[in-house]
Structure 1
Amino acid sequence: MKPAFNSKVHLACCKDRLLSHLAAKSVSSYVIFELRCFNTVNQIWEWKCLQVLQNPCSGNALDACTWSLTTVLKAVLKETSQYKPGTLEKLLATFDTALTAVYSQLVPVESLGHGNSASYPSSNTADWATTLTNLLDLLEVLTAARFKLSTTRVCFTSSRLSLVQASALLRIVDSHVHYFVKKQVLLLLKRILLQKAGEDMGFGEASSLTHGDDHMTSDIFTLADDVLQAVHTDWLQCVPVESAAIFFGGTGQLCGGSSDAFDHVMLRAVSLVVLKSLEYKIQSAGGKGNIGLFVIVINHIYVRRNVYSTLKLDSAK
């Protein structure tokens, strides 16, 4: 089995996207089997993933690696009882340092602000859209794993990234990537702020802040601060809202849909992200001294609402 497994691991990094994905699926299934039956992390898979993560570059190899790691973590999170205690912690500890480094290299690095769109170290926007989509899925699984492990008081750096370095995620919304990636970012932030990370993946309900690890509450407050700081710098003006809902990155409209209807999923996500952040900010200050902040945020939302109204009126003409 080992020679065949080795060849599949190498195929997962080939240039043929379909073949790479199929190989990654096969490899992931075998890794999950070994974890469940023998409580061991496959050394070949681990070595290859770490090798790719240490030299991240948009392409099939990185996409296959992040997708495979996400799939394995999902399997453990969904059926924790089928694995020996400590399996999830073992996986997270193995990749924690590498994932933390990858995050800092793959997200935008330029300053946030209206008119200062972030850039990426790649000329192929389509490749980066796939890479970022896989990364966002992985971030949600890592965050869900943190909620899952909250009662054990175990906390890994990679599981904190989407909270303590959320400003980098906010910059993606003001970057030159596909609309569906920006939408995925806001949906991820919404689920984190609502403490529902991984809920759509079947992981069950997350633990509350009061039962989280030692950094949980402060990390949520940091995320809220990043969002409100972005709002204060006119970030809302950079949030795109398409005139019609777009699925799977396509450009077609729903049958019977109105051409001037806004993407309500995006609008709800933005609204909840801002309002939940404001709620956490008020909680962090004990409900005192935040009237001015509340007025500022509401003013930004009102201005943004006027922009949407203007767009709708223009499209109706």
Structure 2
Amino acid sequence: MKASFEVLEQLYRKVLLGAPLEPDSHDYIFYLSPAFSDRDCSTTTSSSCSNLLDVQGKHQPSSVNLAIRSVAPVCLQRHSQMSSTREIILLQLTVIRVMISRILSVETESHAKEKYRDIIKILLKSSDIDSKLTCMFQNSDKLLSHMAAKCLALLLYFQLKEKMTLSNSWVSFCQKNLSEYSESDKVVNCLWVLTFVIKEIFKDTCSQKTEILKQFLTPFDAIFEAFYNSLFSQHFENHQNTSKLINSLICFLELLELLIASRIHLKLHFTCQRILFLKPSIVFDVITWPVHAFVKRKFIIFIKKCLLCKVGEDLCQGSVPAFMPPDHPLDVDLLALADAVLQAVDLGLLRTLSVHGKPSCFGGNEVQPGCERVAGPDHVILRAASLVIIRSLEIKFQNCVSANEMTVVLQRFMSELLTFLKPHLQPSLQSRNLCEWLSRVFIEQDDDMLEAARAALGIYLKLTRECAAAESSTQEKEMWNHHTHENGYNPHCIFLFILKSIGFDSTVLLDFLISSETCFLEYFVRYLKLLQKDWDNFFAVCKYFDVTESKDNINICCCISSLVQDRSGNQTERSPLAVLGSHRDVRAWVSGASDASSEPRNHVVMSEEAQATLQANSLSPRQASQSLVDYDSSDDSEEESMDQCLANSRLTSLHQEAMKKIQDSIGTSRDKKEPSLESQSRPLVPKESNTPFIVDCDIAPNNTASKVGISYRIVKCFEELQGAIYRLQKKNLFPYNPTALLKLLKHIEAIYNKSMTPL
């Protein structure tokens, strides 16, 4: 036993460094094969294994003995601490695992790699190591069980890479344990090994991944379907040890995701890859089980990935084409899944779905004594459920031909979704513009927000085409336009709310455009094409936003004026900003004071004229704040700067005229006794403005504000985006050819200028 440990330790050191091995390959098999029988491993690896290893030590090959004599004194220093049988078996498994990793690594020298390959091939043929490792799955030692599973997974992957036939013992083991669900630990280990092997195949850079995976899945195609039916037909309440059922669910869900990913990305067509689409309804039953929230969250996110065809995206980065070719069988399967989602919602899925999440705490899972726990919904589930429904509607409408049918279906499910969301959105969602739900729900998740916006746009375009084909009357078109607002899918409102949520910052749009993590390019191009054809509706929506925002600001000013007047008798004179506190406090107060506010994140307490001044000022180049990423590098030439100035000259002159009129009309109205705002690090109103924060609420709105309304802010944002793209393209830094996108942006600018030109 002592000699066996010394040989293994020396072998581990050499393999870890990728060093070549000198003795004959068969000599190492004697030490690498775990020496215990099936009967021994069914309990523990105890004295019987020790005796067998001692026998090995008496008959060890002489060539290996000579190789380790020079390092024996070093090994003896640790031998007293690592002489147990368990540690020797763990060392055997570790050496095998590292040796296979070295074989698969491109950094290993070819001479050493060939030696390692010979040793593993001999080990697989001569020692029946597959049976021994599967036997360890039921060992009470969790570390030993996990190491055996990992070692077996690498051996299976090695067999696939070397085009060797998979071991019959392993195939039989899987067929026996996955023919139906059981609470044995063997099931979880079996699923883990299968998942590990498929992940390794995905990560492989060779061109034969499809053939390798086909060889691996062929023996298990029917077994996976049987296990799927058995697992999801379980009754959660009837299980005494529910933790094993949950472990099996989570492991199989990960395997199922990889199977679907291989169907999409590797173009395989096994039945096991279509199980979810063939029988999707039983999966939704799990969401209604009384299980932990993280289990429901995993299942909803899994369904979301399937509907978006994003399963396995973490493993496929860099190898997946940007645009997948048409796949009609996959479209049929996605329609079946979308129908199952809508059917589950019809049966009350959202009404039974609990989204009350426990707040996360930094450094632990409990709130410290004396601190107030802020209850709130599980936003992950809210986002996933919302995106699942809106995407399912888009898929369903791609296969519908009747505009009336689509309108009825859309109204039913969007009403269900909005009813589900309203109690969880604070401040509450206002009935006057329900399209705000999308930006409110997805504000913390850009990729999901843009996927939802793209799906809503797809629904709108489909309905538009069907209504145009039916030659609807003007009254019907107006009713349909009202329908888009009433059910929260009007594309113009959605786009405006998204832009408001990012503060009309063109650099954020640029980040989206050059990022491969969102679908913004596709969504943006489709929306700009719609905008060219539907400018009148867009402009009407912008006017509505301007009017609504003005009314909200007047209402807020009235409330704050009363608040300050009530305090004036008891406090020294202070500015309203000082009364309300920091900008965060202002935003929180406004959110609570005016539920009708359509932009709680960006409201500022001031009169309408001051609001117009701030709005106009925000359109100029941002000097007080830095962008998320500064794409305008400091080494720009003077010529580039001049080109940018000329490009913005038209809109900048309009902005300056509006600013001058606003400042002239309110420049003398400031009370000289008002304290200075210089102590504020970032004042809400520029220093050059003499606008008071509070004025009489009866003042009539200034018509000048309309000249710098939300439509101007959008076009200005597009102009800044054009300039940034031009500069990056000029330096060959833009990741793709943006010519078509720039033409669309230029055309929108021309349409705006034409609409603003007096007749």
In the alignment, what sits opposite 1:261? 376
Tell whether the 8 Å contact from 1:167 to 1:226 is kept in structure 2 after alignment: yes
- How far apart are 1:17 and its partner, in Å? 4.2
Q: 1:84 to 1:126 in 2, by over 3 A?
A: closer
Tell whether the 8 Å contact from 1:196 to 1:206 is kept in structure 2 after alignment: no
Map residues 184-203 of structure 1 onto 2, 5 A cutoff. 184-202=298-316
Q: 1:8 aligned to 2:133?
A: yes
- How far apart are 1:160 and its partner, in Å? 0.7
Q: 1:53 aligned to 2:178?
A: yes
Aligned AA for 2:204?
E
- How far apart are 1:85 and its partner, in Å? 5.5
- How far apart are 1:180 and its partner, in Å? 1.2
Map residues 164-203 of structure 1 onto 2, 5 A cutoff. 164-202=278-316
Q: 1:133 aligned to 2:246?
A: no
- Secondary structure of 1:41's counterpart equals coil
Map residues 57-136 of structure 1 onto 2, 5 A cutoff. 57-79=182-204, 81=206, 83=208, 86-108=211-233, 119=236, 122-136=239-253
Return the TM-score normalized by structure 2: 0.36
Q: 1:38 aligned to 2:124?
A: no
Q: Map Cα deviations across residues 196-224 of structure 1 (whole Å, 9 max, x no partner).
A: 11012346537867533x52111100000
CA root-mean-square deviation? 2.9
Partners of 1:61 and 1:246 lie apart in 2 by 34
Tell whether the 8 Å contact from 2:288 to 2:352 is kept in structure 1 after alignment: yes
Return the TM-score normalized by structure 1: 0.83
Partners of 2:159 and 2:360 lie apart in 1 by 39
Q: 1:147 aligned to 2:260?
A: no
Match for 1:217 among 331, 336, 339? 331
- Secondary structure of 2:147's counterpart equals helix
- How far apart are 1:242 and its partner, in Å? 3.2
In the alignment, what sits opposite 1:114? none
Partners of 2:337 and 2:146 lie apart in 1 by 33
In the alignment, what sits opposite 1:205? 320
In the alignment, what sits opposite 2:424? 308
Q: 1:136 to 1:121 in 2, by over 3 A?
A: farther
- How far apart are 1:93 and its partner, in Å? 1.9
Partners of 1:141 and 1:178 lie apart in 2 by 23
Q: 1:209 to 1:4 in 2, by over 3 A?
A: closer
- How far apart are 1:177 and its partner, in Å? 2.2
Question: After alignment, is 29-38 or 91-100 more displaced?
Answer: 29-38
Q: 1:271 aligned to 2:386?
A: yes
In the alignment, what sits opposite 2:147? 22
- How far apart are 1:174 and its partner, in Å? 0.3
Q: 1:4 to 1:157 in 2, by over 3 A?
A: closer
Question: After alignment, is 202-211 or 125-134 more displaced?
Answer: 202-211
In the alignment, what sits opposite 1:112? none
Q: 1:137 to 1:246 in 2, by over 3 A?
A: farther
Unpaired segments of 5 or more residues in structure 2? 1-122, 429-759
In the alignment, what sits opposite 1:298? 414
Q: Map Cα deviations across residues 219-272 of structure 1 (whole Å, 9 max, x no partner).
A: 10000000001111110112222333669xxx9269999632332222111111
Partners of 1:96 and 1:254 lie apart in 2 by 48
Q: 1:206 to 1:300 in 2, by over 3 A?
A: farther
Partners of 1:276 and 1:81 lie apart in 2 by 34
In the alignment, what sits opposite 2:749? none
Q: 1:55 to 1:228 in 2, by over 3 A?
A: closer
Q: 1:287 to 1:72 in 2, by over 3 A?
A: farther
Q: 1:240 to 1:84 in 2, by over 3 A?
A: closer
Q: 1:85 to 1:271 in 2, by over 3 A?
A: closer
Tell whether the 8 Å contact from 2:180 to 2:230 is kept in structure 1 after alignment: no
Q: 1:149 to 1:245 in 2, by over 3 A?
A: farther
In the alignment, what sits opposite 2:341? 227
In the alignment, what sits opposite 2:356? 242
In the alignment, what sits opposite 2:652? none
- How far apart are 1:138 and its partner, in Å? 0.5
Q: Map Cα deviations across residues 274-304 of structure 1 (whole Å, 9 max, x no partner).
A: 1100110111114632111111111111221
Q: 1:157 aligned to 2:279?
A: no
Aligned AA for 1:292?
V
- Secondary structure of 2:376's counterpart equals coil
Aligned AA for 1:34?
Q
Partners of 2:209 and 2:391 lie apart in 1 by 37
Tell whether the 8 Å contact from 1:243 to 1:262 is kept in structure 2 after alignment: yes
Aligned AA for 2:342?
L
- Secondary structure of 1:175's counterpart equals coil
Number of aligned residue pairs: give it. Answer: 296
Partners of 2:316 and 2:238 lie apart in 1 by 34
In the alignment, what sits opposite 1:315? none
Question: After alignment, is 56-65 or 83-92 more displaced?
Answer: 83-92
Q: 1:265 to 1:253 in 2, by over 3 A?
A: farther
Tell whether the 8 Å contact from 1:244 to 1:253 is kept in structure 2 after alignment: no
- How far apart are 1:95 and its partner, in Å? 0.6
Tell whether the 8 Å contact from 2:293 to 2:357 is kept in structure 1 after alignment: no
- Secondary structure of 1:252's counterpart equals coil
Q: 1:21 to 1:287 in 2, by over 3 A?
A: farther
Question: After alignment, is 74-83 or 161-170 more displaced?
Answer: 74-83
In the alignment, what sits opposite 2:91? none
Q: Map Cα deviations across residues 14-36 of structure 1 (whole Å, 9 max, x no partner).
A: 45444332221111011111211
Partners of 2:238 and 2:160 lie apart in 1 by 35
Partners of 2:141 and 2:245 lie apart in 1 by 16
Partners of 2:144 and 2:172 lie apart in 1 by 21
Identity %: 28
In the alignment, what sits opposite 2:545? none
Q: 1:50 to 1:93 in 2, by over 3 A?
A: same
- Secondary structure of 1:177's counterpart equals coil
Q: 1:160 to 1:208 in 2, by over 3 A?
A: farther
Question: After alignment, is 162-171 or 64-73 more displaced?
Answer: 162-171
- How far apart are 1:163 and its partner, in Å? 2.1
Q: 1:12 to 1:245 in 2, by over 3 A?
A: farther
- Secondary structure of 1:95's counterpart equals helix
- Secondary structure of 2:170's counterpart equals helix
In the alignment, what sits opposite 2:558? none
Tell whether the 8 Å contact from 1:146 to 1:155 is kept in structure 2 after alignment: yes
Q: Map Cα deviations across residues 150-173 of structure 1 (whole Å, 9 max, x no partner).
A: 2xxx41111011223221111110
Aligned AA for 2:159?
E
- How far apart are 1:105 and its partner, in Å? 0.4
Partners of 1:220 and 1:38 lie apart in 2 by 34
Q: 1:18 to 1:125 in 2, by over 3 A?
A: farther
Aligned AA for 1:297?
F
Question: After alignment, is 121-130 or 177-186 more displaced?
Answer: 121-130
Tell whether the 8 Å contact from 1:28 to 1:71 is kept in structure 2 after alignment: yes
Q: 1:168 to 1:55 in 2, by over 3 A?
A: closer
Partners of 2:181 and 2:205 lie apart in 1 by 30
Aligned AA for 2:300?
L
Partners of 1:216 and 1:257 lie apart in 2 by 49
